[in-house]
Structure 1
Amino acid sequence: MSPFVASRGRRCRSSVGLFKVGDIDLIGPELVYEAIEKVSLIRERLRMTQSRQKSYVDSRRRDLEFEVSDRVYLKISPMKGVMIFGKKQKLIPRYVGPYQILKHIEKVSYELELLNELAPVHPVFHVPMLKKCIVDPVSIIPLKGLGVDETLSYEEVPVEINDRKVKRLINNEVDPVTVLLRN
């Protein structure tokens, strides 16, 4: 697929494609020269677009490199809209650990020494899943009791209902409930 078709969803309407193969008298060197100029213009604009997109990505990219035996936190993904440790959205712990790096696999992947709770998880992780750890025993979040599964996500389970109120609206009644969640 040509770049024009990919970006516009239709074929380019240049004068080169309007003629049939037998119409030699209508095609001259100036039409071929015009088509070559258009192709070079398209290539130049694609290059400009690529460099702009690359500059956007590079401004947010962080080049992290770790050494063997460094300690790192591992990123986990909480379920959306679930309260964890009595906290919502921004305050939810996003990293667990720290874990020690055993081996440098490739330029951007590392093998970690995981605990028994994460035995089903493959121990090799990409750099965006890791965060450098400055060892502080207070900041260690235990994985035990979180219920992290092999996809590194966890779910909160309701334990009991604390409060129930009936709220009257104009046409109907709403029954909001306050629930105590595990963890």
Structure 2
Amino acid sequence: MAHYKVLYGYEPPQLFFESIAQSSVDVVDQYYRERQIMAKALKENLAKAQNRMKMYAHKKRSEKEFEVGDWVFLKLQPYRQTSIDMRRSLELASKFYSPYQVIQKIRTVAYKLVLPSTAKIHPVFHISQLKRKVGKHVVPAIDPLPPSICSSKVQLLVEPVAILDRRIVKKGNIVSTQILVQ
């Protein structure tokens, strides 16, 4: 049942009167013609608005498709992976992580990747989170930390290599020691 009928108890009025025969009253015929012209104008304006909205919605979209064996970068920022990157400012965190290989195409928009065995995230990702790796040569990863370095409690596993330097800093009346760790 239409919402209009539920609210008012009868069917909504018709906008198109093409099937109605000609009336003997000229005022009624004129009214029907005006309604038809108005309905046609509304329909055209609605179609233009829909096409304009569709154009703006698709403006920044690009058609992506990956094959099994392709290398892709993985975007993790929408998931707020604080277990992977411990920066205070999430805006400054890396968006894409080092290239991973596609091993299975689940659907047209879902792909399974080969992640390290220690990764604690699910290996299937939406196509919007993937970006094709271009070129054959390997670029050293600039990831702050790969997504494989986290414990079962989703805590970051970090082991310092060496203490490089230390200094004493005075802030107001408080003296503190700062350590540079590799």
| TM-score, with structure 2 as normaliser | 0.54
Structure 2 residue runs without a partner (length 5+): 4-12, 16-22, 157-167, 173-178
1:35-114 equivalent positions in 2, closer than 5 A: 35-77=35-77, 79=80, 88=89, 90-114=91-115
Computing the radius of gyration from Cα coordinates, the structure with the larger value is: 2
CA RMSD, aligned part only?
4.3
Return the letter of the residue paired with 1:107.
T
1:144 aligned to which of 122, 143, 148? 148
Contact 2:110 2:125 in 1 (8 A): yes
Q: Following TM superposition, by how much is the alpha carbon of 1:117 offset from its aligned partner in structure 2, in angstroms?
A: 4.0
Q: Provide the C-alpha distance between the structure 2 equivalents of 1:63 and 1:119, rounded to a whole number of angstroms.
A: 30
1:86/1:114 CA distance change after superposition, 3 Å? closer
Determine the C-alpha separation between the residues in 1 that align with 2:121 and 2:31.
64
SS in 2 for 1:31: helix
Structure 1: distance between partners of 2:63 and 2:88: 31
Residues 148 and 41 from structure 1, CA distance in 2 versus in 1: closer, same or farther, beyond 3 angstroms?
farther
- Post-superposition Cα deviations, 1:112-158, rounded to whole Å, max 9, x if no partner, equal 2233344452x3322211011245251263223367999xxx99xxx
1:156-175 correspondence runs (5 A): none
Q: What is the SS of the residue equivalent to 2:140?
A: helix
Is the Cα–Cα contact under 8 Å of residues 71 and 99 in structure 1 kept in the other structure?
Answer: yes
Give the residue type in structure 2 aligned to 1:65: E
**CA deviation string 1:17-38 (max 9, x = no partner):** xxxxxxx989823222222222
Residue 34 of structure 2 aligns with an amino acid whose one-letter code is E
Q: Distance in 2 between matches of 1:164 and 1:148?
A: 39
- Per-residue deviation, 1:58: 2.5
CA offset at residue 101 of structure 1? 0.7
Secondary structure, counterpart of 1:30 in structure 2: helix
Q: What is the aligned-residue identity percentage?
A: 25
8 A contact 1:72–1:101 mirrored in 2: yes
Q: Residues 165 and 46 (structure 1 numbering): CA distance in 2 closer, same or farther, change over 3 Å?
A: farther
Whether contact under 8 Å (1:98, 1:140) holds in the other structure is: no
Shift in CA distance, 85/125, structure 1 to aligned 2, threshold 3 Å: closer
Q: In 1, are the aligned partners of 2:120 and 2:150 still within 8 Å (CA)?
A: no
Counterpart-to-counterpart distance in 1, 2:45 and 2:119: 48
Q: Distance in 1 between matches of 2:152 and 2:49?
A: 41
Q: In structure 2, how many angstroms separate the alpha carbons of the residues matched to 1:164 and 1:31?
A: 87
Flag the 1:46–1:95 CA change in 2: closer, same or farther, 3 A.
same
Q: Which runs of 5+ in 1 are unaligned?
A: 3-13, 17-23, 156-161, 167-179
